[in-house]
Amino acid sequence: MSARHFSRTYGEARQRFLEAAHKAAAAIESHVHPLKGAEGEEIATDTAWVGPADAKNLLIVSSGAHGPEGFSGSACQLALLGDELLGRATQRDVAVLLIHAVNPFGFSHLKRTNEDNIDLNRNFNDFSKPYPDNPVYEEIHGLLVPETWPPSAENETQLAAAMTRLAGQRNPGVSSGQARHPDGLFYSGTAPAWSNRTIRSIVRRHGAGRRHIAWLDVHTGLGPYGHGEKIFGSNPPQTLQRALSWWGCDLIASTQAESVSPRTVGHITYCAFEECPTAALTPMTLEYGTLPSPQVRRALRGEAWLAGHPDAAPSVAAAIRQSVRDAFYVDADDWKGMILGQFRALALQTINGLAATQEQGNAP
Ligand SMILES: [Zn+2]
User: pTM value?
Assistant: 0.95
Residue 207's pLDDT is 98
Whole-number Å distance, alpha carbon 220 to ligand 1 midpoint, is 6
- Please report, for the chain, the start and end positions of each structural domain, with discontinuous segments joined by +: 2-126+185-359
Residue 362's pLDDT is 46
Residue 107's pLDDT is 98
Q: How far apart are CA 112 and CA 109, in angstroms?
A: 9
Q: What is the pLDDT of residues 305-336, one digit of tens each?
A: 999 999 999 999 999 999 999 999 999 999 99
Q: Which residues of the chain have pLDDT under 50?
A: 362-364
Whole-number Å distance, alpha carbon 219 to ligand 1 midpoint, is 4
Q: For 325, what's the count of Cα atoms within 13 Å in the CB-facing half-sphere?
A: 16
Residue 339's pLDDT is 98
- Paired sense of beta strands 212-225 and 94-100, if any: unpaired
Whole-number Å distance, alpha carbon 362 to ligand 1 midpoint, is 32
Phi, psi for 297 (deg, rounded to 5):
-65, -40
Whole-number Å distance, alpha carbon 361 to ligand 1 midpoint, is 34
Whole-number Å distance, alpha carbon 328 to ligand 1 midpoint, is 9
Long-range contacts of 133-138 (CB under 8 A, 24+ apart): 134/172, 134/176, 134/177, 134/178, 134/180, 135/172, 136/166, 136/169, 136/172, 136/173, 136/174, 136/176, 137/172, 137/174, 137/175, 137/176, 137/178, 137/181, 137/184, 137/185, 137/186, 138/178, 138/180
Phi, psi for 60 (deg, rounded to 5):
-100, 135
Whole-number Å distance, alpha carbon 357 to ligand 1 midpoint, is 29
Residue 269's pLDDT is 94
- Residue 266: left if φ>0, alpha if ψ -120 to 50, beta else—which one? left
Element (H, E) at 59: strand 57-62
Whole-number Å distance, alpha carbon 221 to ligand 1 midpoint, is 7
Q: How far apart are CA 96 and CA 51, in angstroms?
A: 6
Whole-number Å distance, alpha carbon 27 to ligand 1 midpoint, is 27
Whole-number Å distance, alpha carbon 261 to ligand 1 midpoint, is 10
Whole-number Å distance, alpha carbon 68 to ligand 1 midpoint, is 9
Q: What is the DSSP string of 76-106?
A: HHHHHHTSTHHHHHHHTTEEEEEEE-SSHHH
3-state helix, strand, coil in the chain (%, to 5): 45, 20, 35
Query: CATH number for the 2-126+185-359 domain, one of 1.10.3470, 1.10.287, 3.30.565, 3.40.630?
Result: 3.40.630
